[in-house]
């Protein structure tokens, strides 16, 4: 009985070692891929409204229509389970040197259409500033980025090549 346990333990440990080696080898086959793609981001209908927050403070909320165009098909290989896309807005204000806001996201699983041609869609999440700094801000940079969700390996965060700058008007829209 003791000899049987020893054999079972040896076989189990060997099997785990082989599986770990194979998983690491599979990871190495795709670890040096760049996962980059060109992105075209366009916006229109820029509006800024001044609103009260639930806490009674005034803040700016930005609105615009968004168009995205990119082909993410070359990123998919046998080790990519899905892509998590997200569009961020980055801008400076007097109160903060760096503001980053996620405005839109999408999950693209393997096998789904990954050649995006989205025209005049609305942003998914509200674009609030914690003050009155969106009005007249001419330097809001929109960038599409993605996380590659692999079957085995690291979880890289990739920034798309191509961004756009949004300029908001100098007066509020009621």
For residue 1, is pLDDT > 80? no
Query: What pLDDT score was predicted for residue 132?
Result: 84
Reply yes or no on whether the pLDDT at 151 is more than 90. no
Which residues are 89's β-sheet partners? 101, 142
Q: What is the pLDDT of residues 60-112, one digit of tens each?
A: 899 999 999 999 999 998 889 999 999 999 999 888 899 999 999 999 999 89
The dihedral region occupied by 157, where left means phi > 0, alpha psi between -120 and 50, and beta the remainder, is beta
- Please give the DSSP secondary-structure letter assigned to residue 169: -
164 closest CA partner among 88, 78, 77, 56: 88
Model confidence, pTM: 0.84
Q: Bridge partners of 86?
A: 105, 145
The mean of the pLDDT values for the chain is 89
Question: Any idea which of 23-32, 65-74, 126-135 has the lowest mean pLDDT?
Answer: 23-32
Query: What pLDDT score does 118 carry?
Result: 92
The Cα–Cα gap between 150 and 169 comes to 42
Confidence of residue 159 (pLDDT cuts 50, 70, 90): confident
| CB-count exposure of residue 80 (10 Å: 0-12, 13-18, 19+) | buried
pLDDT above 90: percentage of residues in the chain: 47
Sheet with 140-150, side-by-side order of all strands: 99-109, 80-91, 140-150, 157-166
pLDDT reported for residue 55: 79
């Amino acid at each position: 009985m003791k000899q049987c346990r020893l054999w079972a333990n040896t076989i189990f440990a060997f099997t785990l070692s082989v599986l770990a080696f194979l998983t690491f080898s599979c990871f190495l086959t795709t670890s040096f891929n760049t996962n980059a793609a060109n992105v075209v981001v366009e916006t229109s209908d820029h509006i800024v409204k001044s609103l009260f927050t639930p806490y009674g403070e005034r803040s700016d909320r930005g609105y615009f229509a968004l168009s995205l165009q990119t082909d993410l098909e070359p990123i998919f290989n046998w080790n990519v389970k899905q892509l998590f896309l997200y569009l961020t807005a980055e801008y400076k204000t007097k109160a903060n040197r760096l503001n980053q806001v996620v405005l839109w996201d999408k999950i693209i699983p393997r096998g789904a259409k990954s050649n995006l041609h989205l025209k005049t869609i609305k942003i998914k999440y509200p674009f609030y500033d914690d003050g009155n700094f969106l009005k007249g801000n001419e330097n809001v940079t929109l960038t599409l980025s993605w996380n590659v969700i692999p079957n085995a390996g690291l979880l890289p965060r990739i920034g798309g090549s191509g961004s756009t700058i949004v300029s908001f008007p100098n007066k509020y829209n009621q």
